[in-house]
Amino acid sequence: MDKEQYVELGFCVKPHGIKGGFTFNLSNVEDSVLGKKSKILLTPRDRGSSLSPEGEFFTIKSIAFGNKVITYLEEVTDRNKVEDLIPFNISVSRDDFPSLDEDEFYLSDLVGLDVLEEESMEPYGKVSDFYDNTAQVVLVVKGSGKRVLELPFIEEFFPTINIEENYITMKIPDYIEGRK
């Protein structure tokens, strides 16, 4: 499996119970692609994890969504092993995502796209990340040098999304210093 095609869905820093359970913190609980028999890639968050730096593959034995996301893995049967593995990030193959309609995309598909300034169509940078601030999704755009813009992912700031041609356009707000 090509680890480059894996999308990070969340992380785990806490065990659950004494029988080998994990408490997953997922960025999208409502529409999670995770389920029984899902193959996941776990990568260490720090040196406290016994996982190899490249990550290791596991299979979900069971997963329950509620106030907490409680997960059991086929390869882990006791709390000692859980404590050895945590903390880690949770990723899944992009190929395991449900297919979408032609005009739809996943937010993870935006990461790595070129960002062009709307007026001039000149390159500004790339989408490096996104996050949900509980009010809206925010795109993180890395420009030339160390410049980073974090803007709400709304049509006012990002009017054109062209996944096929690998770019999106951005209207830079007037209040941004150093604006061209």
DSSP conformation letters of 95-149: GGSPP--TT---GGGGTT-EEEETTT--EEEEEEEEEE-SSSEEEEEEESTT-EE
Counts for the chain of helices (H) and strands (E), in that order: 1, 12
- Whether residue 67 is predicted with pLDDT greater than 90 in this model: the reply is no
Global pTM value: 0.74
Specify the 3-state DSSP secondary structure of 79. helix
Structural domain contains residue 27: yes
84 and 63, same structural domain?
A: yes
Q: List the domain range (segments joined by +) for residue 149.
A: 107-170
| 178 occurs within a structural domain | no
Average pLDDT of every residue of the chain? 90
Q: What is the pLDDT of residue 130?
A: 87
Q: pLDDT of 81-98, one tens digit each?
A: 999 999 999 999 988 888
Please identify, among 50, 76, 96, the residue that sits at the C-terminal boundary of a domain: 96
How many domains would you assign to the chain?
A: 2
Cβ atoms of 115 and 123 closer than 8 Å: yes
Q: How confident is the model at residue 146 (pLDDT cuts 50, 70, 90)?
A: confident
In the chain, pLDDT over 90 holds for what percent of residues? 63
- Strand 123-132 and strand 137-143: the pairing is antiparallel
What local confidence, expressed as pLDDT, does residue 179 receive? 52
C-alpha 130: how far from chain center: 8
Q: Compute the average pLDDT of residues 27-37.
A: 84
Residue bearing the bigger pLDDT, 144 or 166:
166
Let me know whether 115 and 144 are in one domain. Answer: yes
Q: What is the CA radius of gyration of the chain?
A: 19
The pLDDT, as a whole number, for residue 1 is 45
Q: Report the amino acid identity of residue 179.
A: R
pLDDT at 12: 96
- Determine phi and psi for 73, rounding to 5 degrees: -110, 145
Same domain, residue pair 14 and 70: yes
Residue that is last in its domain, among 96, 130, 155: 96
